């Protein structure tokens, strides 16, 4: 049975545009894939807060599992859970705003925790190969400005980064849907996002 991992990255609760996009997207997805199961992780909830990587974490990450001490195993427990969750998904779905032109802290922390050598990526003969089980990723992006055209197009650092990380993980099919210009005309931005979501199905 198909399974999707859903990440929520906006701290704005019910007023979040990316969350509204996610609700719309998941409703349509449920209609198309009624048997698909979901794991939803709201990265902005206190109980889901992810720590920055520590020196101890990085040391443990690069050790062979059988050589890690009990303390090093504990250092990786949270990352192991997140990575297992990621590797259980056929599709990754991420709803996120753009913060200061780039990745919100909760999403960057999640990426740092699941970018695990020998687990989600590897190097063979000096060539990088992604090991993610997921074959597709969908990003629902909200932004105050407009980054797909006009003078701010050169400031679109989030979408290219996310696309690159999917290549890094070996996920070949990446879709980016946007609500842009929210700061200027939120209703129009959401209407255009709804049109993109509808077209995706």
φ/ψ (deg, to 5) at 158 = -75, -55
Note the pTM of the prediction, 2 decimals.
0.95
Residue 153 burial (C-beta neighbours within 10 Å; 0-12, 13-18, 19+): exposed
**Tens digit of pLDDT at every position of the chain (201 positions):** 899 999 999 998 888 999 999 999 999 999 999 999 999 999 999 999 999 999 999 999 999 999 999 999 999 999 999 999 999 999 999 999 999 999 999 999 999 999 999 999 999 988 999 999 999 999 999 999 999 999 998 999 999 999 999 999 999 999 999 999 999 999 999 999 999 999 999
Of the candidates 12, 36, 8, 37, the one whose C-alpha atom is nearest the C-alpha of residue 23 is 8
């Amino acid at each position: 049975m198909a399974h999707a991992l859903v990440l929520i990255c906006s701290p704005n609760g019910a007023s979040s545009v990316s969350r509204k996009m996610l609700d719309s997207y998941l409703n349509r997805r449920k209609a198309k894939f009624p048997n698909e199961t979901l794991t939803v992780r709201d990265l902005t909830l206190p109980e889901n807060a992810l720590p920055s990587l520590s020196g101890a974490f990085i040391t443990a990450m690069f050790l062979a599992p059988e050589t890690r001490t009990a303390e090093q195993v504990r250092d990786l427990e949270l990352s192991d859970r997140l990575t297992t969750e990621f590797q259980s998904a056929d599709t990754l779905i991420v709803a996120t705003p753009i913060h200061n032109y780039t990745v919100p802290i909760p999403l960057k922390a999640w990426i740092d925790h699941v970018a695990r050598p020998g687990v989600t990526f590897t190097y063979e003969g000096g060539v990088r190969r992604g090991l993610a089980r997921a074959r597709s990723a969908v990003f629902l992006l909200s932004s105050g400005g407009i980054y797909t055209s006009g003078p701010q197009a050169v400031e679109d650092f989030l979408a290219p980064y996310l696309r690159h990380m999917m290549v890094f993980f070996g996920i070949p099919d990446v879709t980016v849907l946007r609500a842009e210009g929210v700061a200027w005309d939120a209703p129009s931005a959401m209407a255009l996002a709804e049109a993109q979501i509808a077209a995706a199905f």
